[in-house]
Amino acid sequence: MTMNTQTHAANCEDCPVHNLGNLKKLGINMAEFDFVVALAGNPNTGKSTVFNALTGLRQHTGNWPGKTVTRAEGGFVYGAKRFKLVDLPGTYSLLSTSTDEEVARDFILFGQPDVTVIVVDATRLERNLNLVLQVLEITDRAVLCLNLMDEAKRHGITVDARALARDLGIPVVAASARQEEGIPELLKYIYEVATGTYVCRPHRLERTAPHLERALTELTRRISAEFPEIPNARWIALRLLEGDQKIIDAVRNGELRSLIRRTPIRQNEPMVNEGAV
């Protein structure tokens, strides 16, 4: 009996959730990594603060939209896996054509991150969800970081994280990145989604117009036939219907094909933390 308790305690200590010591911040030393994690979100939601908390880097953080216009990269080790973290420019949507939005969208689409962490401002959830829904159209492996919970609390705003997770079909972590609150849980979910332990069932948009739905289904079918393994054929179809030149080019010159080849490599990773076994 005593033995058993001890084993439990030992397991808890090893368990990544309870031990931030398991998080090894790699800074920019990240020659080899197992998973790629993208950090997306609206401007000014604390993406860079989350980035710094995870990597131990000190990217300058500023309180204004448009502070990060390029990608910053860093890394960390968690649960014996090496993660590369890419901080994307903050954007309100992925549909327009400014260079910073393109950097973000191209990375989520063509960079094929294993997990996309979407950082949102808990005090402005509705507006932030617009971007979340767009990201979930492109990728089905995402974690929502509900940041600035301290500010929300100060303003008397409450967010039902559980209901949000159910509606979006992805893990939701309430966090205050400035105080490093929620970072352990965030790490846990990144790990679980990356390794496939947690399977996301992302929310997809409901489109009401039937003629649009018909066209979309038709085109999606054709794309899936030509690129059988593509994960987001429907989104590609939508962009083609909208006449997005970048996506048209990607279909034409085969960039889309290279995207498929990379995907299956990381299936069936061991799902348990080796340290605990």
Task: Report the C-alpha gap between 77 and 29 in whole angstroms.
Answer: 11
Residue 229 is a binding residue for other proteins (CB under 8 A): no
CB of 153 to other proteins, least distance (A): 10
Single out the residue of 12, 25, 22, 51 nearest to residue 175, CA to CA.
Answer: 51
* Residue whose CB is less far from other proteins, 39 or 104: 104
For residue 43, the SS3 value is coil
Task: Report the C-alpha gap between 237 and 219 in whole angstroms.
Answer: 6
Residue 228 is a binding residue for other proteins (CB under 8 A): no
* 63, 149, 151, 194 from 233: Cα distances, Å: 37, 35, 39, 21
Task: Report the C-alpha gap between 128 and 90 in whole angstroms.
Answer: 11
Residue 126 is a binding residue for other proteins (CB under 8 A): yes
Residue 243 is a binding residue for other proteins (CB under 8 A): yes
User: Residues 8, 18, 24, 154: which binds other proteins (CB under 8 A)?
Assistant: 154
User: Residues 7, 19, 158, 258: which binds other proteins (CB under 8 A)?
Assistant: 158
Report the Cα 148 to chain-centroid distance in Å. Answer: 17
Residue 130 is a binding residue for other proteins (CB under 8 A): yes
CB of 265 to other proteins, least distance (A): 22
| CA dihedral for 83, 89, 93, 96, sign (positive or negative) | negative
* Residue whose CB is less far from other proteins, 32 or 126: 126
CB of 154 to other proteins, least distance (A): 6
Residue 222 is a binding residue for other proteins (CB under 8 A): yes
* Residue whose CB is less far from other proteins, 61 or 197: 61
User: Residues 30, 77, 80, 157: which binds other proteins (CB under 8 A)?
Assistant: 157
Which residue's entry shows tokens 């014996």? 80
* Residue whose CB is less far from other proteins, 68 or 112: 68
User: Residues 30, 77, 80, 159: which binds other proteins (CB under 8 A)?
Assistant: 159
Single out the residue of 31, 77, 36, 33 nearest to residue 55, CA to CA.
Answer: 77
Which residue's entry shows tokens 């090496």? 82
Residue 238 is a binding residue for other proteins (CB under 8 A): yes
Let me know: does 103 contact 216? Beta carbons within 8 Å.
no
User: Residues 168, 173, 177, 190: which binds other proteins (CB under 8 A)?
Assistant: 168
The two structure tokens encoding residue 26? 């790699």
Site for other proteins in 84-113 (CB under 8 A): 89, 92, 95-101, 103
